[in-house]
Amino acid sequence: MIRSALVSAFLAAAAMPAVAAASNGIALQPAVGGRVVARTVVDRPAYAMYAGGRVMQFAATSHTTYTYAWPGVYFEAQFTGDSVAVRLDDDQNLLHLYLDGVHKDSLIRPGHRTVILDKLGDGPHVVRLEKAGETQDTTARFDGFTVASTEQVLSAPHYDRRMEFIGDSYMVGYGNTSHTHTCTHEEIRDTTDTSESYVTLAAKHFHAAYRILATSGHGVVRNYNNFSPGETLPWYYQFALFDKATLANDDGWVPDAVVVDLGTNDFSTPLGDNEKWKTREDLRADFIATYAVFVKSLRAKYPAAHIILMAENIDDNERIDAVNAVASRLKSDGEDNLDVLPYSGLDHLACDYHPSHRDEGILWQLLIDRLSLLPKFRLEERGQAGDD
């Protein structure tokens, strides 16, 4: 009798081709935000058994895993029922877990474990997991959301708007929840929260799908204090992970807006004697030429996207002047769907003089005000409310 019941359960799962059966539940199909590497892991190979006078064939069971490294990666799925399992394999990051838009837990380097959200009441529900920490030298993995039965599976959430953000530590949210300039490596790790970054907040305001392709310390032609020459943000942009080998596959990803905020690391430190640029003018010329080529590659990739180049207007205006020169060069070459968004007035009270939580609010408001001018992002005309 027990064997007969098991046979019926396995056959029912095999009859649902759109639903993946894992060894410890039925996998939900998530909407994935950010670049990840998805792989299928076999939980149990196919096998046959003799029952009831005949041979029964059973299909293999498997689940999809998602390896990630870029900041701000998130996973979101819909289901019915009163519980969902969240399968983690991440000993590096701060992760935020949400249910129906409400923050349920912050998981600090949880490792390999499964978190159960239960007693949720009848659905439907939306479960969401966000990577909030930054990792440059390691990867982590999400093993998916699972529920108890195929009847609880709903389709993945859908977004009408899409946004891509390309930048450095400002976008990552480097130490942005800190209240001091001086931070240890551990304090930087523990106070960096990409979910509080101005770009994440802006995307959520517009209820948009988003990708954050940013990494601390990297510039357009020169990284902070010239560390790792040549391994700049435009170079890393080609990869799905920071392993310098796994190329990105962006098929199907078409953003409505692309926001780029680069240049801080190129100009924030003096040139050293052993650098290839002998003068600041040499650096500026290389920056302008390389940045323009990078934006042209984005335009070729995303022909209809509106592109915004952000830059801080600070000190001797070196950064904003260089970015304005990039925009002028692009427009003289025929680019007409791009503008520059300068910003100033930040207090830089977070770790290593990075933007503070207050500054994130200033940048968020500035960005949503500019995006609201685009037809696709006019919430009031579309009868929609943003998620502040």
Residues classed as catalytic: 169
315 torsion bin: left (phi>0), alpha (psi -120 to 50), beta (else): left
In DSSP terms, which residues pair with 311 in a beta bridge? 342
Q: CA 259 from chain center: how many Å?
A: 13
Query: HSE on the CB side for 130, CA within 13 Å?
Result: 24
Q: Are 196 and 360 in contact (CB under 8 A)?
A: yes
- Extract long-range pairs of 185-188: CB within 8 Å, 24+ residues apart: 187/351, 188/351, 188/352
Q: For the chain, what is the radius of gyration of the CA atoms?
A: 23
288 by Cβ neighbours in 10 Å (0-12 / 13-18 / 19+) ranks as: buried
127 by Cβ neighbours in 10 Å (0-12 / 13-18 / 19+) ranks as: buried
